Amino acid sequence: MTGYPTAAAFTWANTGGKGSGAGMAPDDILETEQAVARLAQAWKQPLIAYYVSTGPLWLKAQRLNISRRTLMRRVETAERKVAETLDSAPKS
């Protein structure tokens, strides 16, 4: 597991999933989005390209003017940074 939700979970939460509290992201997704928001732009862009944008991996990398390998390295690094942030956050 990477510590970052799948694109489907992200999309579901941000399109106001059905049920009580529609329009509000679950706490774990909100915490993850806050951790991503605190990342430097260099780490945020690859995560957004990878998890949110559509298209094949080569196209996502091309949009960032980097290779697929570089995109995946940056995604993995950013995921570790998000996981570290989430692990160090005080538990409620």
- Give the pLDDT confidence of 46-73 residue by residue, as tens digits: 999 999 999 999 999 999 999 999 999 9
Query: How far apart are the C-alpha atoms of 14 and 5, rounded to whole Å?
Result: 12
**CA gap 5, 65 in Å, rounded:** 25
Torsion of the alpha carbons at 6, 9, 10 and 12, rounded to the nearest 10: 150
pLDDT at 6 over 60: no
* Mean confidence (pLDDT) of the chain: 82
Query: Which pair of tokens denotes residue 85?
Result: 């942030």
Residue ranges of domains in the chain: 41-87
With CA atoms as reference, report the closest residue to 69 among 57, 53, 78.
Answer: 57
pLDDT of residue 19: 47
